[in-house]
Amino acid sequence: MGISFKKALVTGGAGFIGSHIVDALIGKGCDVIVIDNLSTGHMSNLEHTKGKMSFCQGDIRDIDFIMKKAEGCDVIFHQAAVVSVPLTVEKPVDSAMVNEIGTIHVLEAARKNHVKKVVLASSCAVYGDDPEIPKNEEMVARPQTPYAAQKYSNEQYARIYNQLYGMNTACLRYFNVYGPRQDPSSPYSGVISIFMTRAAKGESPLIYGDGRQFRDFVFVKDVVHANLLAAGLEKSDKNVFNIGTGSYIRINKLWDMVCRLSGASIEAEYAPPRAGDILESVANIDNAKKILGFEPEYAFEKGIEKTFEWYRNQPQTERRP
């Protein structure tokens, strides 16, 4: 697909999803500015893009910084966030300063600089423990954690900026994103990256709950494609979209699949469920299909093979910025 914009700003561009967005933009000839405070992002994720984009280390809590970097941009892909749910439970105020105030800074910078489009990363966590499956965008939000509440707040600010200032915004509710570059060194990392690291080391994973809980896992390149589609969308009555696959994998089965890929035969260990964890989550992606033209291209088996191939080639040491 082609793109209709020439200059883009990616917040959190040294992170897992952000760096893949950077790759796609560069591949389409876009002038890219990346900002990241490197609290969880890694310069190693951008090593191959040196000379092809402009990197600026800074924080979205700094309104003057983000205001200056948004100058002349056609679109902003807002990925920067405290993404650890447990960390937002532990530090709700600190995380809100990033996830809420930082997002308002991004929106305000876009408004003052006449940026044509802002695409914001939201989360399926906003649905909370609503038992209805699959999740659709018309459901009442039931945030159960500060992280979920902060993401839902971002959606509301995006809607308000659309209504008050005519800003073109889109919020993508990511389901469980996985793929190369997802950092396994943090205890808050995605379950797939943790499982793959454990299997490579011959160690048992710790599964919270009985392992029968399930998730809609979506490959990072499909998420990137959704971002580009959203950036090219003209104003619409709908600006919140589920980004997933519409199918699910149980956590126990996920561990079995990782074991098969790695050749390991290791029994998992179990612990009580964590506060804020959601038991069942599957996306209804009808709106994304109809309005964005989004269609997941990576079946889970294909995506997890590509992910494992990447992890297998990584040194088994903690990655640092």
Can you give the pLDDT at residue 255?
96
DSSP letter string over 103-154?
A: HHHHHHHHHHTT-SEEEEEEEGGGGTT---SSB-TTSPP---SHHHHHHHHH
Can you give the pLDDT at residue 188?
59
Q: Output DSSP code: residue 280.
A: B
**Which residue bears the tokens 């939201």?**
122
Can you give the pLDDT at residue 266?
94
Helices (H) and strands (E) in the chain, counts: 11, 13
The two tokens of residue 25 are 């933009």
Question: Residues 5, 231: contact at Cβ < 8 Å?
Answer: yes
Residue 22, SS3 per DSSP: helix
Which positions are catalytic? 147
Helix axes 220-231, 16-27, angle to 10 degrees: 60
Torsion of CA 105, 111, 116, 122, to 10 degrees: 30
Can you give the pLDDT at residue 313?
83
Can you give the pLDDT at residue 187?
58
Write out residues in the chain with pLDDT < 70, as ranges: 186-189, 276, 316-321
